[in-house]
Chain A
Amino acid sequence: MANIRTISFDGVIVGGGGAGMRAALQLAQSGYKTAVISKVFPTRSHTVSAQGGITCAIASSDPQDQWQWHMYDTVKGSDYIGDQEAIEYMCQVGPEAVYELDHMGMPFSRTEEGRIYQRPFGGQSKNFGEGGQAARTCAAADRTGHALLHTLYQGNLKNNTVFFNEWYATDLVKNEDGEVVGVIAICIETGEVVYVKSKATVFATGGAGRIYASTTNAHINTGDGVGMALRAGFPVQDIEMWQFHPTGIAGAGVLVTEGCRGEGGYLVNKDGERFMERYAPNAKDLAGRDVVARSMTLEILEGRGCGPNGDHVYLKLDHLGEEVLESRLPGICELSRTFAHADPVKEPVPVVPTCHYMMGGIPTNVNGQALTVDAEGNDTVIPGLFACGEVACVSVHGANRLGGNSLLDLVVFGRSAGLYIEKSLREGIEMRDASEADIERAMSRLNKINNTTGGESVSALRTELQTIMQNHFGVFRRGDFMQEGIKKLAELRVRIDNAHLEDKSNAYNTARIEALELHNLFEVAEATAIAAEARTESRGAHAREDFTDRDDENWLCHSVYFPSEKRVGKRAVNFTPKTREAFAPKIRTY
C-alpha cells in the first residue's frame, strides 16, 4: 500500500540551480502554486561554480554586435548538430533574459559607460566568423554563476516560491496513460517520503559529471533527472557528447575559467611553446573547447607535457599583471593558490582537460516540453514532463558547447519553460490521477534499497564506475576499447542494482541518498557508453581514433538512446530557423 502523504502543486520543479529557479520564478510570478524540490539549499547548486560569464549579444563591448553572429558561432561550435531553431531562440531572446537578471539585482561587472562588462571567450567571432575575435561574455568578475544563482534565489524569495530544500526526488510518477503526474520525494532531514503531485513536472537537475573520476563538477552532479527519465522508459539524446574543459587544475579537477584565456592568458607545453598556435592559427587559445582539449591531450601524449610525470600543461597568466588578475580573476587566484599551490601572479597554473559538461540529455522543444520519438520516427511530447538547463538537450550545444552558453541556456530555457507552463495552466491541464499502483511502482526502487540485507559498498562501486568511464570514454575514444567498457558496465549493473544500504535510519541519512544517486550515475554512464560506441564518426567533443572524420552523410543527426531496448536511433537536426536561412555545415576550423 502506498501509504504516503500527497502534496499538490500547479508546477513542481526538480532542481534548485539556475534553470530550476528561473523556471520557478516565471511560474511564481504568474501566481501559480509553484514548488522547487532541491537536494541542497538552492545556492549550493552547481550553477554557483560557473565563473567566466553568460554569453549574449547585448552590444556593450561592441555596439555593432548582433545576436545573429552569436547564433553563427553557436551553430559552428556545435559542429552543426545544434538545433538551429533553438539556437536562434536562445541568441535572440538572450539579451532580454540578461537585462532581467540585472533588473533583479545581479551584480555584473561594469564598463566606463555603466553597461555590463563583456569579455572574449572561446569560439566567438564578429560578422559570421569574418570579423575576428568578439567579446560577448557578460561577467560578474569570475563569479558569474555565484552572482546569478544568488540573484535568482533572491528573486524567488521575493515572489514566494515554495522551496523543499534538502528534499530528494527519487522517481517519476506516471499515470495509466503514460503521462507524468509528479514525483516521489524524500525529506532528507526526517526521511519522510511523499508524493508530490503536479500538473507540470520540470526537471532542472543539472549534469552528471560525477560519472567520470576526474571532473570539474560538484559532488551533487549525479544525473538524477536523466536517471529518472531513463528508468521511466524515456529516451535521451546526444548523451555521448561530454565536454572536457581544457583547464581543470591538474590533480584537483577544480575549474579555472576560459575567461583566463579571454583576458589574455595562454597555454604552454614543457618547452614553453604556445602550442595552440600550431593547432588553431587564428583563434589560438580561444578555439572551441573540444579543439583545445584535444590539442592539450596530444601535447601530453607526445611527451611535451609538464611536471615530473609530464601529465599536464601550463596556463600562463603572470604576464597579465597583478592588477588585472586581482580585479578580473580574483576567484581564480584564490582557487589556484588553494588547489594548485601556484600563485598565478608569479607562476603558471598546471591544467589538464577535465570532464565538465553534458551536452546531451532529455530531448525537448524550445518550450521545455520533453520529447520522445514514436515508431514512425515522429517527435512526440511527453505529457506533463519538462526539462531545462544541463539535463535537457533542446539542443543548443550539439556536439560541443561554447563557453558562456550554459548560463544563457539555463536562464533562457528556464524562462521559456515557465512561460509555456503558465500558458498551459491558464488553458487548463487535465490528466488522470495516479492510482495507488502507479505510486507504488514509482516507489519500488526506494523500497528495494530500504530492504537490502547484503551487497557491496556504494562508495567502492561508484569509484569503479568512474574509473571505467575515465579509462574507456575519455577525450579520445576507440571502438574496441569502448566495447570492452560496455562489457564491464554490464557486469557492474548487477552489482550496483544489489548495492547495500547498511544504514536504514531516517534522520539526515546521506548514505541512502548516495545509494540512490549511484543508480542515476550508472544509467547516465551506460547510456553514454552505448551511444558513444554507436556514433561511428568524430564530431565536436566525440573524437574517435578509429573514425577520425566527421561523417555528415550518416551522422549529421542527433543520437537517441532508448533505454528499454538499449538501442540507439537517430533524430533529425533542426535546420529551419524562423528569421533567417540556416547555416549550412562547413568544415570547422579555428
Chain B
Amino acid sequence: MLKVSLYRYNPETDQEPYMQEVELDTGGKDLMVLDVLELLKGSDPSLAYRRSCREGVCGSDGMNINGKNGLACITPISEALKNGKGGNKLVLRPLPGLPVIRDLVIDMSLFYKQYEKIKPFLQNDTPAPAIERLQSPEEREKLDGLYECILCACCSTACPSFWWNPDRFIGPSGLLQAYRFLADSRDTATEERLSDLDDPFSVFRCHGIQNCVNVCPKGLNPTKAIGHIRNMLLSRAT
C-alpha cells in the first residue's frame, strides 16, 4: 500500500487547508504521480487538480511533489520518494507562492500576467516576404532550450525572488520567454524589449539561486537566459 498525503482545501466547506492521509493499492507498480491522482479521484471525485496531455508537454499538472516542484504525469512514485521529504509517503501540495483555488489547483493569473508583460510574440517591422523569413540553422539553434517552455510554472513558483515580488519580478519563466524573442534573428524589437525590462525589479531581482534550473521538468535553464538578458542590458548601458 502506498501512503499518500494530500493537500486539501475547498473554499466553500473548509475553514482552512489540511493534509488528508490516504492509502492506495498500486499493485506494486511504479505509477506516475498523475496515475495515483486519477485512481484516488476515482473513489473521491471531489479531489481537484489540473491535467491534460499526461505526457509532460502541456504543463497542466505542475505541483509540489515531496518538496520539489514537478509535473505529476512524468514523475514516477519512486522518483518522488527520492526527493527526500516525506519518507515512504507521497506528499502532494499545490505549487507554492500563488493563491490556492482548491486542493492542488492554484490561481496562475500573476504568472500569466508576467508572461504577457514581456510581449511574448514576434515583432518585425519589415514587410513579410512571400515565403518564410530565412533563418540559418545556427540562428535557429539559439532558440533551443528556450522555445520548449510549457508554462507549467514549476520554476517561477520555486523562486524566492518571485515569491517576494510576483507582481514586479518577471520570474524565470517569463524571462526565459523574453530571451527567446531577444535571441530570435527574425525579431526586430530588441531595443524596446530591453527598455521594457530595464528597471530594478523585472530582471535584476534574480539572485542566481537556480531553483528554477533545478526543477524545470523540460531541463531548461532560465538562469542562463537571465544572464544573457543581464549582459544585454549592461552592455546597452555602457
Contacts and interface: CB of A to CB of B under 8 A. Distances in A.
Contacts of B137: 109-112
Given A44-B60, A218-B52, A105 B132 contact: no
Interface string B20-50: 0000000000000000000001100110111
B46 A220 contact: no
A505 B101 CA distance: 13
Interface string B45-87: 1101111111111111000000000000010000000000000
Interface in B99-135: 101-103, 105, 107-108, 112, 116, 119-122, 124, 128, 130-135
Interface in A325-343: 331, 334-335, 338-339
Give the interface residue-count category, chain A. Answer: 35 or more
Interface string A428-468: 00000000000000000000000000000111100000000
Interface stretch (A129-137, A154-162, A267-275, A577-585): A154-162
A472 B70 CA distance: 38
B116 A157 contact: yes
A506 B12 contact: yes
B186 interface: yes
Given A157-B120, A338-B74, A110 B48 contact: no
Interface residues of B, number: 55
A91 interface: no
B53 A48 contact: yes
A46 B41 contact: no
A572 interface: no
Contacts of A514: 45
Contacts of B11: 507
Interface stretch (B143-151, B203-211, B220-228): B143-151
Contacts of B48: 508-510
A496 interface: no
A458 B44 CA distance: 11
A481 interface: no
A104 B132 CA distance: 10
A116 interface: yes
B198 interface: no
A353 to B, nearest CB: 18
B46 A44 contact: no
B10 interface: yes
A492 interface: no
A197 interface: no
18 contacts: A43-B59, A43-B151, A48-B53, A58-B131, A58-B132, A99-B128, A99-B130, A102-B186, A108-B140, A110-B139, A157-B121, A459-B41, A505-B12, A507-B102, A508-B102, A509-B46, A509-B48, A510-B45
Given A110-B139, A508-B105, A511-B45, 5 more contacts: A41-B112, A44-B58, A109-B140, A140-B147, A157-B116
Which 7 residue pairs are nearest across A and B when measured between Cβ atoms? A105-B122, A114-B134, A511-B45, A102-B132, A154-B121, A508-B102, A44-B58
Interface of B: 10-13, 41-42, 45-46, 48-60, 74, 101-103, 105, 107-108, 112, 116, 119-122, 124, 128, 130-137, 139-140, 143, 147-148, 150-151, 181, 184, 186-187
